[in-house]
Structure formats: C-alpha cells, structure tokens
Amino acid sequence: MKKAFMVGILLSIIIPCIGTTIVLKRLSMIGDALSHASLAGVSAGLIMSINPVLGAIIACILAALSVEAIRKKIPQYSEVSIAIITSACVGLAGVLSGFIKNVTSFNSFLFGSIVAISDIEVKMTIIVSIVVIISTILLYKELMYISFDEESAKLSGVNVSAINFVFTILTAITVSVASRTVGALIVSSLMVVPVATSIQVSRSYKQVIIISVLYAFFEVVIGLTMSYYIRINGAGLKPGGTIVLIAVIGFLLTSAIKNIIRK
C-alpha cells in the first residue's frame, strides 16, 4: 500500500501539470487517444514478450507525434487529428489483443492495478515524475504562452514547434506510466477533471496548476484509502475508478458551491 500511495501522489502532481496545458489548448480528448495508444503498445509488448509499459511508451510517443503532425496540417480542425489517431489506436488495440495469450495482464491495464505495481514500475514513475516536474518549472512561461495563443507565442520569440515537441513527449510518457497504475480507460479523466475543477476557482495559469494538483492529491488519497478499506461481499473498490468518481464529485460540488456564492 505504501507503493500505491507514493505512486498515486506522484501522479497527482504530474498529471495536472500536463493536463493544465492540454485543457487550456482545448485538446482535452488527446488523453483518450493516447490511452488507447497505450493499450495498442501494451498488446504489442505482451505479444513480443517485452515490458508492456515500454511498449505503451513507444506507442504513446508515436501517437502523440502523429496527432501533432496532423494538427499542423489542419490547424483549424485540430480535434480531427485526435479523432483520427484515436480511431487508429482503437482498431490496432482491438486487433492485437486477439493475439494475447495472457489476457489477465492486458486487462490489468484497462482499469489499472495501482496496489500491485512492481518495483520497476515505481522507479519508472519516479523518473517520469522528476522529468515532468523539472520540465514544467523550466518551461513554465513557454507552456503558459502556447496554452493560450500559439501565434502570439511565436511573435514573442517562443520556439513553438520545439516546445510542442517536448510537451508532446512529456504527455506521452505520463499517459503511459499512468495507464499501468490508474488504468488506460481512466487516465484521461484524471488529466481533465481536476483541471476543469480548478479553472472554476482560479484566476491565473499558476493558480490553475497549483489548485488542480491539490485537488488531484486529495482525490487520490481519498480514493486509495476507500479502495483499500471498503469491502463489499469480499470484493474491493477499483482504485482508478474510485479516484475518478471522487474527482467528478469534487467538480460537481465546486460548481454547486460557486453557483450558491454567486447568488
């Protein structure tokens, strides 16, 4: 359980850091595209008998770069690039999953297995977390500029292409690691919901990041605690699903309280 809390807390920090830029750039659905890409990578990894997380990382990076490439070709329809890659990844994951012998391993990536992660996966999460946190700090201004207006960022001297490339890689590896722990079908929710909640009470880019991290932290801690202690007919709650439901409840409560205060 100590591993679960450590990994959960690290993810509660880095996922909102990535999610803030994604939401503000109106690319919220990219998490879905990459989570399905991770499933395709996991399938390929299991078929070739290599670490499925490594397969997920490679697949997510390729998918993220493909989204960015298509988005550059048709910038006025950026959401189309996500839909195309999502469709391709869903199809590929569906085809490859039919060749997997150990279905249990594949299923563990669907909804995650944060309480049964290996030492190697813990180390990978720590490394990815350090990279994402340092990158977010060093590229804070650049990420803020491209989050609101890429054209203005270019005029301000920001190398938008380079920043987008770095951010794309960071997003891909974050989704890959998070898919193993909280689940490929759930990670996109964790990337969006805490940020959407934070936006309602924040007045600046910095506040959005800080408050979304705080929201995610408490949601992860509460979700893990509930999934560990609550048992119904001998079965426990799924950590990933529990965390996301708490995040959605937090969003609804924040919206309700904000409306009451306005009145």
**Listed residue (250, 240, 248, 217) closest to 12, CA to CA:** 217
Instruction: Give pLDDT, residue 211.
Output: 94
CB atoms within 10 A of CB 209: 23
Collect all residues with Cβ–Cβ distance below 8 Å to 102 and sequence separation of at least 6.
46
Instruction: Give pLDDT, residue 116.
Output: 67
DSSP, residue by residue, 140-196: HHHHHHHHH-HHHHHHTT--HHHHHHHHHHHHHHHHHHHHHHH-TTTHHHHHHHHHH
CA 253 from chain centre, in angstroms, equals 23
CA 252 from chain centre, in angstroms, equals 21
Question: Taking phi first (over 0 means left), then psi (-120 to 50 degrees means alpha), and beta for anything else, what does residue 233 get?
Answer: left
Q: Which long-range contacts (CB under 8 A, 24 or more apart) does 139-148 make?
A: 139/163, 139/166, 139/167, 143/21, 143/167, 144/205, 146/21, 146/25, 147/20, 147/21, 147/24, 147/25, 147/205, 148/24, 148/205
Instruction: Give pLDDT, residue 84.
Output: 86
> For a pLDDT cut of 90, what percent of the chain falls above it?
25
- Fold for the domain defined by 2-189: ABC transporter involved in vitamin B12 uptake, BtuC (1.10.3470)
Least confident of 24-28, 39-43, 233-237: 233-237
Which residue would you say has higher pLDDT here, 69 or 75?
69
Please provide the size of the chain in residues: 263
Average pLDDT over residues 210-237: 85
pLDDT at 113 over 80: no
Instruction: Give pLDDT, residue 185.
Output: 72
pLDDT digits (tens, 9 = 90+) for 63-74: 888 888 887 787
pLDDT digits (tens, 9 = 90+) for 135-192: 999 999 999 998 888 888 888 888 888 888 888 889 888 888 888 777 777 788 888 9
The torsion angles phi and psi of 235, rounded to 5 degrees, stand at -105, 145
CB atoms within 10 A of CB 138: 11
Instruction: Give pLDDT, residue 114.
Output: 66
Domain ranges for the chain: 2-189
Answer for the pair 69, 63: CB distance below 8 angstroms, yes or no. no
